[in-house]
Amino acid sequence: MLKLASLCFPDPEKSCFYCCPPIRDPEADTLDNIEERRAALRLNRKNLAENILRAQEIPGDSCWGLGFLDDAEKQAGCLLHPLRHNGRDLRHLTGYQFKCANALCREALVFAELSPDEQKFCLTLCRDMDSFTYSSRSNPLMRLLAWEAGVVRFVIDDSRENKPPFIDKYAFLWQELDFRLDGFLVFEILKKAGTDFLCQRLAPYILFRNRLIEDLRTLQNERPGQGLTSAPLLPVHKLDIPLSLSRLLKFGADLWELPAAGRESILSKTEPALEKFLHS
Ligand code: SF4
Ligand code: SF4
């Protein structure tokens, strides 16, 4: 069963409201124009009854149903949620009830895969944040949770045992790496060689990953009748390979479709290169 409540509402001091409204600019962040946002959340709470009477479809960059949930202005969230209206869902008044009710970020899904103990550790990283900083995708926890649960677990285990603060040791994950390009390789390296190996070889790792991407890109060049492109093409995420490897193909090598047999070519390039790097 999904355990989402604690990432959205970690404690009484804050909440996440990043996914409101679900039709917003995906680049918009809760720390943008923070004073304007704060004023809007305050006003929406104050004018809720009136706004409900004059309900209008939301424009996309804001929602009149999004407001502070408490007088102390600590938590922010949906003022139209059924939990605030004895089970009546008023989100349809904004025109996007379905999207609102189904909004679920990648970070919440990854968080839900963690054990209660791991979740607790994650939330300690945000102990002193307010709702704006907590919701922001510059929040290191949210950045960490963009990676797959396997990588997150390695980071948590290492951070529990080691002295350097999590943020000092692992900021490279979002400052120098990208979960879409590096998710597969980083997880393999962590499994086989551990966190210190990766941390100490970051520059060589980036070189290795870029060379591998160049090599994978050559799969695109094989001619019909001579190689992979003669067979029916499948989206790479449908190949029998880890999803994280299909992201490397798409976002790194710009390979979005390959024949099913392409799996062998991908693995024959990836596995030996990875082994070589691990023993370098
Ligand atoms: S962005 Fe994710 S964590 Fe934040 S409220 Fe939405 S689902 Fe919850
Ligand atoms: S109706 Fe509620 S859930 Fe939907 S965008 Fe507005 S505040 Fe968010």
Arithmetic mean of pLDDT over the chain: 92
Those residues whose C-beta lies under 8 Å from the C-beta of residue 87, and which sit 6 or more positions away, are none
- Give pLDDT, residue 167: 82
The answer to whether residue 126 is domain-embedded is no
Give me the mean pLDDT over the 36-64 stretch.
95
Q: Ligand 1 centre from 113 Cα, in Å?
A: 15
Number of domains in the chain: 2
- With a Cβ cut-off of 6 Å, ligand 1 is lined by 7-8, 16, 18-19, 103-105, 107-108
> What is the per-residue burial (b if ≥16 Cβ within 10 Å, else e) of 67-99?
bbbeeeeebbbbbbbeebeeeebbbebbbbeee
Residue owning the nearest CA to atom 1 of ligand 2: 91
Closest of 204, 161, 159, 164 to residue 185, by C-alpha: 204
Closest of 95, 110, 34, 87 to residue 65, by C-alpha: 95
pLDDT tens digits for range 162-198: 667 778 889 999 999 999 999 999 999 999 999 999 9
Taking the CA atoms of residue 35, residue 39, residue 45 and residue 47 in that order, the dihedral angle to the nearest 10 degrees is -160
CA distance 1 to 274: 35
Q: Ligand 1 centre from 48 Cα, in Å?
A: 22
- Give pLDDT, residue 64: 97
Residue owning the nearest CA to atom 3 of ligand 2: 100
Selected residue with higher pLDDT from 126 and 3: 126
Closest of 171, 150, 180 to residue 249, by C-alpha: 180
pLDDT tens digits for range 228-243: 556 788 899 999 999 9
pTM of the model as a whole: 0.89
The answer to whether residue 1 is domain-embedded is no
Q: Point out the ligand 2 atom lying closest to the alpha carbon of residue 93.
A: 1
Where does a domain end: 60, 79, 103?
Answer: 103
The answer to whether residue 128 is domain-embedded is no
Q: Ligand 2 centre from 147 Cα, in Å?
A: 26
Residue owning the nearest CA to atom 8 of ligand 1: 8
1 falls in which pLDDT band (50, 70, 90)?
A: very low
Q: Point out the ligand 2 atom lying closest to the alpha carbon of residue 17.
A: 8
Looking up tokens 């939330």 gives 123
The answer to whether residue 226 is domain-embedded is yes
Quote the domain boundaries for residue 86. 20-103
Q: Taking the mean position of all CA atoms in its chain, how far away is CA 98?
A: 21
pLDDT tens digits for range 127-137: 999 999 999 99
The answer to whether residue 143 is domain-embedded is no
- The ligand minimizing its distance to the Cα of 111 is 1
- Give pLDDT, residue 225: 53
